[in-house]
Structure formats: structure tokens, C-alpha cells
Amino acid sequence: MNTRLISIEELATSVLDGASVALPRDSSGCALEAVRALVRRGARNLKLIAVPQVGLQADLLIGAGCATSVEAAAVSLGEHGQAPRFRSAVSSGSIEMIDSTCPVIHAGFQAAEKGIPFMPLRGIIGSDLVSHRADWKIVDNPFGDGDDPILLLPAIRPDVALFHASRADRDGNVWVGTSRELSTMAHAARLTFVTVEEIVEESLLADQATASGTLSGLYVSAIAEVKDGAWPVGLAGCYPPDHEHLRAYSRAARTADGFAEYLVEHVLVDQSAGAP
């Protein structure tokens, strides 16, 4: 196997303190057991980058004191309301919120995967966001005729891309299906760590039925096999979100004491053998 098969604890240790970590939206494949492992090992000073929005993953890391910043189009628990620990951290000033938009984040990752320093974008010129982002530059279109402004966005190249998928093969190829942003994350990141439901023997790239939805193992640094690794947000095609648990989390995490009790019950004890 070209890509290393490691334990969830080794994966958490491989995400170094201070790293910038790209995380997908809840419906794309969230490595929640890896996030819990990061909390258990006491990760610190992580810089979270949502692709392009994020929910429970970020809320757990922020609430546990693992993250110092988050760049995102949104941080939310969706139908279960606001992300309570994120909201508290922003209100207290204990975390830096770097406001962005979905097109900007995707464009930044696309620039990084192409190996270019920036990506042009036009649609958000005139937005208040532009005046708050010193790293975004408006220039005259060098190919335009007359006044034609274009916004240049820096490439986003995270230290780590972290996500969960249904399966990988022995060569480290990972099935991502229609969640193509996961491939973009892996192409852009310096390291990519993936948790999967299972390791399969047959090559995912050799089968025409799976090849088009498979991320090559060339872009995968290490894989941990973790059953129910996306619980409780669910994994498309495998198991649905655990809405009862998500509602309970939303209620508990509204207070620091409630969040601390949640950590003791559901995070600080390794549950990678299966969701309760």
C-alpha cells in the first residue's frame, strides 16, 4: 500500500499544533472521529478553513480550545441552529473569524491545486467583504479595454486537508463520489488525512464504475479505517445524520458547563469502535 494505513490516534498526532486545516461542509464527509481524536490529544492553535462552510467539526474544536481562527462563508449547525461554541468564542474575542464567501474559498483552493498564486473573480466586487480583506486585491483587467476591475484572490494552500469517506483501496485511492470539493482540498493541501468506513481489496481506479469518483492515492498522505467516522452528521449513502444527537448537542453546548459535560460523555472517551 503506497498510502500509509494508520490508527486514528496516529492521525491526530500527525496534525501538528498551529497547522491550517481544511474541513468540508457537513454533507460532504466530515471526519468527526478524527476531530474527537484531535480534542483528546489536546491539539492547539489550529487555523480552520471551511470548504466553504462548516458546522459541528469547527464547533467542537473551537469549544475545546483547539482552534485560534476560522475562515469560512458560514459556521452553523444548519437546521439545529447556530454553532453555540463558535458564537461564544466570537463574542468573547477568543477566536479570529475571517469572513469569506463560497466562491472565494473555492477559487482559492482551485488556485492552489493549479500551483498558481491567485485566482481572479468578479462577482463579489462591491461587497462590504472586499473592504475588510486586505489580502484581496482589485486591479484593472490587463486584457480589458477601458475600466474593467477584477478581484484577485490569493491561493489557499492548507497544511492539512481532513475528511471522511465511505471507502478506500489498498493503494490509498479514496472514493469521494460527487463531492468533488474533497478532491480539490486534497490537490491543494500539503498533507491529506482521510478516515474511511472500510478498506476494500479491489482497485477503485481500475473499475469504470468507481474511477471517475475516486481521488488518487497520490494525493493522500495517510488513511485511518474508522467505522461510523462521520457520526453524528452522517455520511451520504452510508448512514443518515443523527438528528436527535445533534439537537442534544445544540442544547448542551449553549453553556460552557453543558459543553464540558458533552466532551466528557462523547469525546474524551474513544468511541471509534462505533457510535453509541
pLDDT of 83 strictly over 60? yes
Residues 16-29: pLDDT tens digits? 999 999 999 998 99
Model confidence pLDDT, tens digit, residues 178-190: 999 999 999 999 9
Give the model's confidence band at 275: pLDDT under 50 very low, under 70 low, under 90 confident, else very high.
very low
Residue with cell 453546548: 253
Cis peptide before 52 (omega within 30 of 0): yes
C-alpha cell, 218: 497520490
Mapped onto helix, strand or coil, the DSSP state of residue 86 is helix
Global pTM? 0.94
pLDDT grade for 145, boundaries at 50, 70 and 90: confident
Q: Tell me: the pLDDT tens digits for 124-135?
A: 999 999 999 999
Mind listing the domains of the chain with CATH numbers?
4-100+158-266 (3.40.1080.10), 118-154 (no CATH)
Where would I find the beta strands (DSSP E) of 12-123? Answer: 20-24, 46-51, 53-54, 67-72, 74-75, 96-99, 118-121
pLDDT in tens, 174-231: 999 999 999 999 999 999 999 999 999 999 999 999 999 999 999 999 999 999 999 9
Q: Is the pLDDT of residue 2 over 80?
A: no
| Band of pLDDT at residue 270, cut at 50, 70 and 90 | low
Mutual angle of helices 84-92 and 256-266, in 10-degree steps? 130
The pLDDT assigned to 202 comes to 94
| pLDDT at site 271 | 55
How much is the average pLDDT of 143-168?
Answer: 95
DSSP symbols for 144-211? SSSS-EEEEEE----SEEEEEEEEEETT--EE-TT-HHHHHHHHHSSEEEEEEEEEESS-TTTSHHHH
Query: What gap in Å lies between CA 141 and CA 166, rounded to an integer?
Result: 43
Which of the four pLDDT bands, split at 50, 70 and 90, describes residue 276? very low
